[in-house]
Structure formats: C-alpha cells, structure tokens
Amino acid sequence: MDFNHPIRNAAFDWLTEQTSIHGDVLPRRPLLEHGFMYQGERVPLVSAQGIFKPKIMSAPLSITTSPKGPYDDAFGSDGFLLYRYRGTDPSHRDNVGLRNLMLDQVPLIYFHGIVPGRYLAVWPVYIVADNPYNLTFKVAVDDIRSINSDSAILAVAENDDARRSYLTTTVKQRLHQRDFREKVLQAYQTSCAMCNLKHRELLDAAHIIPDHEPEGLPIVTNGLSLCKLHHAAFDSFLIGITPDYNLIVREDLLHEIDGPILQHGLKNLHNTKLILPHLRENIPDREKLAWKYERFKSAG
C-alpha cells in the first residue's frame, strides 16, 4: 500500500525549516493550516479533525491534541503518548487509517496544543499499539534517522523500544517547558515587561525564582516576559524588581559611561515601572519578587 512517503518526508523537511525559524511551538494560523506546496498542490498539516489526511494523500499525515492540559493525562504509565480514537467506532475510517499506519510502521507528525492556536510539533511519531477497549492508540516518538534518505520507511527492531521510550519522555518534559513559555508570553501580550519589545523571536519566559529552587515553579505568577537583553540583565542582577514593581538598575551601572545599549537599554529603565499583565491573576507574585530582590541587593 502506498502511504505517500515522499510527501511525508517533504512535510518533515518543511517542519525542520519552520522550527529553525519559529522554534518548536508553531502557530496554527496561518502556518500549519496553510502548510506547504508539493508538486503544485497545497499540503496543510492540520484541520478541524484531530486525525488529519490531506486531500493529496491516501492516509493520515498528522494527529493533533487540543490545548486542554494537564499534559500528564496524555501519557500512559509506561511513558508513551496516548491518543484517543476518532469517536467510539473502531472501524471509523480515521481510526482504520491510523491502524494501517501502525501495521506498516509509517511515521506521522504529532501536534500538541500548548495554548489556543499554538502547537508543539513532534516528528516522526509512530502508532505502536491499539487498544479498542479504551479507544486509544499508543504513540511513540522516534529519531528522524529512523527514516532513510531514500524516502522509504525502515523496519522497526524490537530493541528500538528503549530509545522510543526515552525520546517520548523528553517530549513530556518539553511540553511542560513550552507550556510555561507560551502562557507567560500570552499573559504579557507577547511583549517585554521592561521595554515593551513585541517580537516573539526575541522574547523569553524568565523565572523570578529560578527553576532549580524548590519555589521556582513553572507558573505564570513566577514568570516574566522579557526580551533576551533584559532576561540576561535580570538573571545577572544588573536589574532588580521591587515587590512594588519598580525597576532598579544596579548602582555601578548608573555611573558607567558606555554606548547606547547601556544608556537606553539599561540605565533609562531605572525607577520606571514593570509593565504588568492585564489580568490580575497573572500579575507577578510580590513574595517571589521580594525573594529575588533581596538577592539583587546582595549581589550589588
């Protein structure tokens, strides 16, 4: 049976290019819904249906999980992803399509919703088990090298289970990390809380209390949307934030003479206010800011 291997590999190559530009969390609109061109035909990667087969293909290309968290619910006790059937009929054509891909070990793309409209892209993934009783498929992540350069799908060896289990577990970790970033950036309307820069590619989700500390939870109230310059300055104690949301530049920098980046990027922020999220529930926790500010004062 022809499962459109050249189109799948073209999709993988396109995703590699897009993630090199945008990162591994991609916008549904317009990027994923528009997709790419293949021999004069457009190949979208997602649709309203979770199990998606483009018109040009004879079998599903991608599976999608909507943003609904918590992400742990998407993983079984063995660490592999669980993906629910389309409806409750095991014989539905979408479920049959995934079952056929499982039998022939043909790879797919997995999109996991982080926040509405933004999806973590993972590929290649394989359907490795089918449970009609629970209406779920088991999904494993694999290395892109499981597909050879001749666009043919390699056979799967039994000893691949350990590698797949490890790679799938790393996706769970990435989901938690990307969840924190996307929710923090969304809370601050994709702008820097210090300078209001609005270019997503230059923004980070900064922890107030670092994540290696017991209190450094990956929650929005322990996060700040900061551009890369101000993230580094905040982490390096060049800029502090008081519990009342005042920005304080380290004293020695205020007396330093240098170029425009120091003057306009750092010194001009002294005694200005942090730009806060619109929703009260997302405003930085004052106790967490106090914890960080005490360390800023000690470092200065």
For residue 88, what pLDDT band results from cuts at 50, 70 and 90?
A: very high
For 261, which DSSP code? Answer: I
Could you tell me the residue ranges of all domains in the chain?
5-184, 189-299
For residue 158, what pLDDT band results from cuts at 50, 70 and 90?
A: very low
Q: 25-79 pLDDT, tens per residue? A: 999 999 999 999 999 999 999 999 899 999 999 999 999 998 875 455 588 888 8
For residue 124, what pLDDT band results from cuts at 50, 70 and 90?
A: very high
pLDDT over 90 (residue 193): yes
Contact 204, 182 (CB under 8 A): no
- The number of angstroms, rounded, from the C-alpha of 181 to the middle of its chain's C-alpha atoms is 8
Distance of alpha carbon 151 from alpha carbon 143, whole angstroms: 15
For residue 155, what pLDDT band results from cuts at 50, 70 and 90?
A: very low
Between 73 and 151, the more confident residue is: 73
Query: Residue range 267-274: average pLDDT?
Result: 97
Mean pLDDT of the chain: 91
pTM for this model (two decimals): 0.83
Q: How many helices (H) and strands (E) does the chain have?
A: 8, 13
